[in-house]
Chain A
Amino acid sequence: MFELLTTKFENLFYKIRNKGKLSPNDLDDALREIKLALLEADVNFKVVKEFLENVKAKSIGENILESLTPYQHVVKIVNEEITRMLGSTSSGVIFASKGPTIIMTVGLQGTGKTSAVIKLANFLKNKFQKKVSIVAADVYRPAAVLQLEDMAKNINVDVYSENNSDPVSISVKGIALFKKSGSDVIIIDTAGRLHVDENMMNEIVNIRNKVSPHQIYLVLDAMTGQEAVNIASTFNQKVECDGIILTKLDSDTRGGAALSVYYMVKKPVKFVSNGEKIEDFDIFYPDRIASRILGMGDILTLVEKAEKVVSEKEARRIEKKIYKNELNFEDFIGQLRSIKKMGSLDKIFSMMPIANKSKIFKKVNLDDSYLSHIEAIINSMTVEERRKPHIINGNRKKRIARGSGSSVSEVNKLLVQFSKTKQMLKQFSGSKGKFNLPLGNL
């Protein structure tokens, strides 16, 4: 996400950085580039205007032209402004003080409400140990209820549904039932509707009036264009939303809608959904996204993901081995599996602070089957070979290649990559990082 914006800023600041000092014209050039980048990122044009005015005023106020480090200065100001536009703190999850928390999701057709409901349920269940249940209030789209029930089964969450009834009474009955059965969180999945459809909008107003949800989330497609602001403000006027769930962030969308909506409607993005898997869902951290826009990568998210799948003890053990240069294929495959648990390769890659990602992207197929392929080769090694890779000779290579359905040259490639990675990791070890990613072979 935000790919192009990041690249643009990277190039722009690279230009400025080489100059040393900034002239008034440089600042105007910079602002123009930022304007284009933001518009191409679907940031609402009104927001862009204000943003530029703020950056300019601040730049002049802080005497940026006199600064010996104008690059750092502009980055700082732009970063601050973007963070401010996104809401400066993460708003987190809010639970009702008494009784079950009732959450209602609303949004246009096709934004990913049903998937978001399932992911949210799973998130609250696993991260906060809540008993979650879902009310199926989409009676319009064919098979919508079936979809919800099918997905809910996978995460062991109960769904209340009814045939031939209206969404308002379904919601009322479902909530009464789940209150009795001791749910901590009850999520209402409503049908997709156009924000200009008076009748349909009144329906969610009625549901809200009857069941008084503690939280109402607007599900917004991250690929939405300039209309995002109108959509969000209309839903907000009707039912007073508490926040946004931003979906489909796994595409190459630049996601400017997120910036605009917070800025214009003053409703924070609470959660992001970024993949096909149920676990591809997280709390939204504005500061992290802002630094991602500026090409600093989203290292914090990455570290958290890594921490989730790698225990500290294991990480220490590996670190020691790296330090002593004793890393072998058994450790490697362990790490490989950890990486696979962290999500798809391209997603991990997108969070890393590497310049010109899109160019590298084109060269490397960040395909998860690549990992499986490597895993297959390592699996075809004997325990001894994994522990002492140096004993792998020509005959062993042939056997490993046959066993893993690959060629000798592929086995060779892995061996070379492995020893390079080992060297590289040794260089990195000793730094503070708890977890070193063996991604040098990419």
Chain B
Amino acid sequence: MQKLIKNLSHIWNKFKNNHKSFWDELEEQMVASDISINTTGKILEEVKNHVYSENINDIEKIKSLLKDQIIEILKTDGNNNLNISPIPPTVFLIVGVNGTGKTTSVAKLANMFKGNGKKVLISAADTYRSAAVEQLQYYADKLGLDMVYHQKFSDPGAVVYDSVEKAKARGIDLVIIDTAGRMQTSYNLMEELKKIKKVISRRIDREVDEILLVIDSTTGQNARNQAELFNNSLHLTGIILTKTDGTSRGGIVLTIKNDLGISIKLVTDGEKLDNIHYFDPVEFTESIFS
């Protein structure tokens, strides 16, 4: 996303000569950041309205109008913090398609809450992928945390059941559940997640505290489908945007927030365990413009 606004000054000359080609160019740049064509249209419509009704002729003002529009979409009414239950254990369920960085995000979250003095338990509910348990075990060992796991191909619902029961028995504050990657279009695997969710809420007598969808910032328009279908099945509480240390612009989160109202809660940006941050709409937008 970084490149987006830098180029704005380059195309500024066009504005002076030919408004249409300026807006076209701007539209292209936004689409090139993976913002959907619809969201782009909506944002530019608002900006144009201001520009023409207020006779704005200054690139800095147009920039700040753009910023405002983007912040307006990204900001949430309440705070963006993760929901911690007054009655322990709090349970986070981490879901997503294959290869987005779920396991690494689980480790980073665990590290973050361990640092806050919480007793964290990791639940290895990806019983499908080869060595998924061993990968997670590596992180659990590194962080000195307990992990609940079963045999390969066993029922992930049972792993989750055990995890919550153990957490209750041992006075754990937070259970973080890693699930197998799955395509949002796979009916059976989405049903499996619904079942996992049901198992948890039955054990804790309330809705799952956080159900977070992990989205790879390299993903294009399909990320919207992912968010929509995972949300239809599970009622997501938020999104973790990963791999933002690459060159991808992650503009699709704007579309997801705009179309589906799902907030981005966390961002990860590196290989280290502390490369995880709460998402801040203003900061995110500023970083686009810097």
Where the two chains meet, the residues of A that have a C-beta atom closer than 8 Å to any C-beta of B are 36, 39-42, 44-45, 108-112, 141-144, 146-148, 150-151, 194-196, 221, 223-228, 230-231, 248, 250-254, 256-257, 346, 365-369
Contacts and interface: CB of A to CB of B under 8 A. Distances in A.
A252 B226 CA distance: 9
B139 interface: yes
A109 B244 CA distance: 12
Contact of B31 (A45, A147, A252, A254): A45
A231 B247 CA distance: 9
Interface string B105-125: 000000000000000000000
A253 B101 CA distance: 19
**Pairs of residues from A and B, 10 with the lowest C-beta to C-beta distance, nearest first:** A225-B220, A110-B99, A147-B131, A42-B220, A142-B138, A143-B135, A150-B130, A143-B134, A225-B34, A146-B131
Given A226-B31, A248-B98, A252-B222, 14 more contacts: A44-B32, A111-B99, A112-B98, A143-B138, A221-B218, A223-B222, A227-B246, A250-B185, A250-B186, A251-B183, A252-B183, A367-B187, A367-B188, A368-B188
Contact of B243 (A109, A148, A230, A251): A109
A41 B221 CA distance: 7
A112 B184 contact: no
Given A112-B98, A248-B183, A367-B188, A40 B131 contact: no
Interface of B is mostly: loop
Interface residues of B, number: 42
A254 B222 contact: yes
B263 interface: no
A76 B178 CA distance: 48
10 contacts: A36-B37, A110-B100, A112-B99, A221-B218, A223-B220, A225-B223, A226-B32, A227-B248, A252-B183, A252-B222
A368 B130 CA distance: 23
Interface of B: 28, 31-34, 36-37, 97-101, 129-132, 134-135, 137-139, 183-188, 216, 218-223, 225, 243, 245-249, 252
Nearest to B184: A251
In terms of DSSP, what is the predominant structure of the interface of chain A?
Answer: loop
B120 to A, nearest CB: 18
Contacts of B37: 36, 39-40
Nearest to B141: A142
